[in-house]
Each structure stands twice: as structure tokens, then as C-alpha cells.
């Protein structure tokens, strides 16, 4: 099987579009609309997003590649046309390259890792278009590409069904929240400044780390992805091989309530709960540890409240800073956030219901992890010509 450079068989289609030159109902995709792994989870419109800067145009013939933080593997195949953020690169395959084959190749774990290792920029790592164009791409005959893409599509459909179950369980959590606590905007619950509900807010440090995750016997520093999506992901870390003295106080412990203090505007202020965690994982500077007053606030209720769609705008509004520097939530502004505080017994009843949902979620998550491992193996074999 011959190997070519991606730029030899695909165009990085950076056609700049002035948002004012297209109809306001034109679909707009930002990175926040593409899930880790590439699933498109929504969209905006040019009018509703109030876009001001140049964007890129895309069609259903393109593969969309997220160049900002490519370690997230945001590689998508849209089924519609629109414009997208310039942090997304539209790739148009030539007649010699199947679109599905290209998408699966770029989304496989080894290529996601390869892309992440070739970024530039410390706080907001990006992959440049010329570097992407230089990626090696195994290129079997077109019928073989289509066969490989079809097999991988069928295998991926199994994972998609499990992800749908997880989505339903997430929706169930919010449905239980609405049923028990009603509309936050009109509720009669006491509203208390967060500073009166937390005894201490800590954050760690962000030392220079390896680009790889920590092994079991190594210290690791959490990445933002460990908290960003509202579920604690211990595997989102970087190995730290330096002197641990003075940093062990930042070790993550079971029972911790963690919050991202710095992220994109859409994702800043996400909260995740730590239940089980291996030793030797440290908080970075970008994550808060919140010591809640458990006599007033149940951790399960607080996490669901902070991730509630009605509450998220007020959480996002706590942040300050430009897009280039990443919005940041200060401890002082966090202390001023008004928190709805129902009776503690009511909060704990909610928590017990969520514990049952989480038990189901853990079962599905384990099954999905096994599916992901098998799918990654299938991808690896496919692009080595062994499928």
C-alpha cells in the first residue's frame, strides 16, 4: 500500500466568508458544537451567534478537522452545508480519496495523538494547516478505501447506540432535577451567595509535564478535560516527573468537588465530582477544588445545579478575559454567585435518585470503553492493511 501526504489528495479549503454576506439562517458550527470524537451535537445560526469575524465555508463533501486542541479528536462528517469557526479546517477529498476513509483515518487514536504532538502554542495548542497537509496517509485503491470505511461505519454504529443510552441517562438526571426543583427562574428557594456555602476554594499548580498520560506508579497533573464535561475523567492527565515536594497537598481525593476556572466561554465553570480516584493525581492551576458546607449543600445537588442549562449562563457570566487568553473565573466572582438552596433533606433525596442513575451510567460506560478498545484495534488493523 502506498503512502502519500494528506495535502496530495485533499484540499484544506479555507475559503474566508464574511458572516454579513450570508443569510442569517445559515448554519454555523463552532468547536463547542462538535463532541470529543467528532459527533456533531448541535449548531447555531449566523444570526443567533452574532458573528463578527471571518469564517470558513463547508459542505457535506468536506471532513471537518478541529485544529484547536486536536487531542480532542474533533473530526466530523457534516450532512449539511454552512460556515464554521476558523478553528475548524474543512478538508475536501480529491477523487482519489474516500471521505469516510479520510475521516476514520484522522480520528483513530494514533493519529489524534500524532496531531497533538505537532501543535504549537502552550495555552491554546493549534495544528497549523501546512503541518496537517504533511500528514502521511496510506492510500489503497478507492474500492478498498470504501470497503474499509463501510466496515468501520458499521462498527461505529454499535458505539453510537451506547452513547445514545448515556445521553438518555444524562437527560434523565436533568429531568429529575426539573421535577424536584422546578424552574430556577421562578423558584422560591433561598438564594445564598456561594461564598457563604463554601469554606475554602483551592487550586493547584501547572508544572511542566510530559505530553503523555502518567503510568500507574507516576504522578500526573489533571488536564481540563478531566472536568470539562461534568464527569470526572482521571485518564485526562499528563505525567509529571519533577520534584513533588510542596505539591502533594494538591493531590485529588475521593469526595472532591472540582470546577474548571479557566476554559472556553462555553465550557468554563464545569463541575465534576470525584468518587474513586487512583493515588498520585494532582490538580492544575486551571481547576478549583471546592470545600462545600455539607450542612447546607449536597455535592450531587450542587453539581447538577451548576451544569443545569438554566444556571449555566450565570456561571459563564462570572468569567472574564478574551477568547485568545481563555475566560477565567476568579475566586471573588465565584463567591458572589447566587446559589439556589432547597432544604437539605430535599437535596439528599435528589442525590439518592441520581446515585441509581449513575450506577446504570457506570455499567454502560464500562461497556462503551470495551467497545472503544475493540474499535481502536479494528481501526489500527484497517490502516495497516490487515482488515
8 A C-beta contact, residue 151 and residue 382: yes
CATH of the domain at 324: 3.90.220.20
**Boundary-marking domain end, from 139, 160, 181:** 139
The answer to whether the beta carbons of residues 123 and 325 sit under 8 Å apart is yes
State which H helix or E strand residue 190 sits in: strand 190-193
pLDDT in tens, the chain (387 residues): 799 999 999 999 998 999 999 999 999 999 989 988 898 988 999 988 888 899 999 999 999 999 999 999 999 999 999 999 999 999 999 999 999 999 999 999 999 999 999 998 867 899 999 999 999 999 999 999 999 999 999 999 999 899 899 889 988 998 999 999 999 989 899 999 999 999 999 999 989 998 889 998 999 999 998 998 888 999 999 999 998 888 889 999 999 999 999 888 888 999 999 998 999 999 999 999 999 999 999 999 999 999 999 999 999 899 886 544 678 899 999 999 999 999 999 999 999 999 999 999 999 989 999 998 889 889 889 898 887
Specify whether 130 is located in the same domain as 201: no
Q: Is 352 domain-assigned?
A: no
- The torsion angles phi and psi of 314, rounded to 5 degrees, stand at -70, -30
Ranges of beta strands (E only) in 283-364 are 287-292, 338-341
Set of cell numbers at residue 226: 478531566
Element (H or E) spanning 220, and its range? strand 219-222
Number of domains in the chain: 2
Whether residues 47 and 135 share a domain: the answer is yes
pTM exceeds 0.95, yes or no: no
User: Domain for residue 69, yes or no?
Assistant: yes
Is residue 13 a part of any domain in this protein? Answer: yes
**Are 90 and 224 found together in one domain?**
no
The x, y and z cell numbers of residue 319, run together, are: 468569567
Same domain (yes/no): 234, 303: yes
For residue 17, the enclosing domain spans 2-139
Amino acid at each position: 500500500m502506498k503512502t502519500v501526504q494528506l495535502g496530495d489528495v485533499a484540499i484544506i479549503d479555507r475559503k474566508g466568508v464574511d458572516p454579513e454576506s450570508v443569510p442569517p439562517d445559515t448554519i454555523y458550527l463552532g468547536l463547542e458544537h462538535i463532541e470529543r470524537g467528532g459527533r456533531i451535537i448541535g449548531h447555531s445560526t449566523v444570526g443567533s451567534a452574532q458573528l463578527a469575524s471571518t469564517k470558513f465555508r463547508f459542505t457535506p463533501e468536506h471532513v471537518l478537522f478541529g485544529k484547536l486542541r486536536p487531542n480532542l479528536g474533533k473530526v466530523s462528517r457534516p450532512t449539511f452545508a454552512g460556515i464554521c469557526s476558523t478553528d475548524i479546517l474543512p478538508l475536501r477529498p480529491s477523487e482519489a480519496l474516500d471521505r469516510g476513509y479520510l475521516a476514520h483515518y484522522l480520528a483513530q487514536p494514533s493519529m489524534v495523538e500524532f496531531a497533538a504532538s505537532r501543535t504549537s502554542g502552550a495555552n491554546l495548542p493549534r495544528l497549523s494547516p501546512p503541518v496537517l497537509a504533511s500528514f502521511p496517509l496510506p492510500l489503497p485503491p478507492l474500492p478498498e478505501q470504501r470497503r474499509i470505511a463501510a466496515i468501520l461505519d458499521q462498527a461505529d454504529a454499535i458505539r453510537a447506540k451506547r452513547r445514545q443510552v448515556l445521553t438518555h441517562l444524562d437527560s434523565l438526571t436533568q429531568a429529575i432535577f426539573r421535577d424536584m426543583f422546578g424552574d430556577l427562574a421562578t423558584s422560591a428557594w433561598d438564594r445564598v451567595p456561594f461564598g457563604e456555602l463554601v469554606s475554602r476554594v483551592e487550586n493547584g499548580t501547572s508544572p511542566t509535564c510530559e505530553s503523555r498520560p502518567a503510568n500507574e506508579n507516576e504522578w500526573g497533573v489533571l488536564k481540563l478535560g478531566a472536568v470539562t464535561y461534568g464527569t470526572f475523567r482521571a485518564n485526562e492527565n499528563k505525567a509529571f516527573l519533577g520534584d513533588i515536594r510542596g505539591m502533594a497537598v494538591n493531590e485529588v481525593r475521593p469526595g472532591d468537588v472540582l470546577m474548571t476556572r479557566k476554559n472556553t466561554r462555553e465550557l468554563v465553570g464545569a463541575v465534576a465530582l470525584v468518587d474513586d480516584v487512583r493515588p498520585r493525581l494532582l490538580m492544575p492551576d486551571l481547576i478549583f477544588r471546592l470545600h462545600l458546607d455539607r450542612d447546607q449543600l449536597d455535592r450531587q445537588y450542587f453539581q447538577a445545579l451548576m451544569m443545569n442549562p438554566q444556571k449555566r449562563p450565570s456561571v459563564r457570566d462570572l468569567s472574564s478575559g478574551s477568547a485568545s487568553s481563555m475566560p477565567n473565573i476568579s475566586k471573588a466572582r465565584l463567591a458572589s454567585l447566587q446559589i439556589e438552596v432547597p432544604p437539605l433533606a430535599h437535596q439528599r433525596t435528589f442525590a439518592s435518585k441520581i446515585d441509581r442513575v449513575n450506577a446504570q451510567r457506570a455499567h454502560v460506560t464500562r461497556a462503551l470503553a470495551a467497545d472503544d478498545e475493540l474499535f481502536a484495534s479494528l481501526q489500527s488493523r484497517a490502516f495497516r492493511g490487515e482488515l
